[in-house]
Structure 1
Amino acid sequence: MEEDPDHRPIILLSERLEFPPLDFAKADGLLAIGGDLSPERLLMAYMNGIFPWFNEGSPILWWCPDPRMVLFPHKVVVSKSMRKVMAGNQFSLTCNKAFKAVLDQCAIIPRKGQKGTWIGAEMKAAYQMLHALGHATSYEVWEGNNLVGGLYGVDLGHVFCGESMFSKSSNASKFAFIHLARELQQKKYRLIDCQIYNPHLESLGAEEISRAEFVRILKE
């Protein structure tokens, strides 16, 4: 009889830099609890298909869902209206010019069905450290001198692990995401990790693949 994932115990991490096998994850993708957000642990996590996601003030939770939401860069969907936006002069784009500001905006932007934020002080400090080490990247969208959109994530060199995005002006986050996909396609990146299903990203071409396929691509 096949084991019910929801009856698997949750693994408590120690100070050792290790994670349990991915098939230990529960049905919702929860793999482990505890540990820390050191750069070494974070990089180990992302390179193995694992990411942290927890509310501020709660224990650190580590996830590896199945299926996995991803975008293959060459499959990005650009609607007719977005083609006009991309070709216009409303927005300009920069990379790694305002990482902290993007992080701050992703933390405070209101999101439908979500109370509070999972990007707390501990998470901010962790990703700023990754950014300082050259492993986390931000894309900023400007309307004149105003920061109106952007995204950030962890760059593994062949896979970009998207973490969060925000938009204060219509289409600003789409503008950043499409630019990211086009740039990564030119650099021959395999995919953008979008983690879990999101209808907004699905409209831009993201799709679900199995955890096994996702990890296979990660390990290439």
Structure 2
Amino acid sequence: MTAVTVGNETRQGSRAVARHIRSSAFKAREVLDLVRGKSYAEAREILTLSERRISDTIAKCLDSAVANAEHNDDLDGEELFIAACYADEGPTLKRHRPRARGRATTIRKRTCHITVVLARYTDDELAAIDVRMAAKGTRRRSSAVEARRRRVAASKQRDSNQTEDHDHDHEPNNQTDTETDTDTDTDNLPDTETDTDNLPDTETDTDNLPDTEPDTTTDTDNLPDTEPDTTTDVNADNDEKEA
């Protein structure tokens, strides 16, 4: 447990430090100034809505400080606020960039160490916060840690259900227990062969059948003589010419 000095009094609190962050201390301080003195719930919302890239790192450091307070110091996350937060300069990585005339320019890659210190509200301050929230028609916000715990529990439950479904798909099928015996005893089947010797003789005598084939031949001798007479009377033509 960390003793945090707030004003002229010392309070219980906890801290978390993120070291060797690849960002300049100046950029981190601009975001830390926004959350200094805020409650954990308010600071978490500000960091979530911030567009700065360093905000994600500061949010992780803040969550770590709350986790230390709850697990190591038995403090409630809803009763904590950011008592102090600061960024110290870390080691600078020096790189070089080639320039004209064979010269090189130094590139300084800054790093920083971010520290977040949490302290607990007093009972009077908590009562005043509750009265202020009641006047607005709201109540004290639930801890973001509790919301995170619910999300983690739901995620674990989903993973457990998916694992059970996956194992169920790979379970061996007991086909030998449920498989029905479809093989039949062919020896006990009745003899369905028919005795062809006792069947009546169904062959027909084709010799005694009447001749039903139609007679398509025609008697050409009895047909009338329909051939036209193409012979002409030559004598009659000669008589006409002489006349």
TM-score class, shorter-chain normalisation, is: under 0.3
Q: Whose Rg is larger?
A: 2
More strand by share: 1
TM-score (norm 2): 0.20
TM-score (norm 1): 0.22
More helix by share: 2
Structure showing greater relative contact order (alpha-carbon pairs closer than 8 Å, 6 or more residues apart): 1
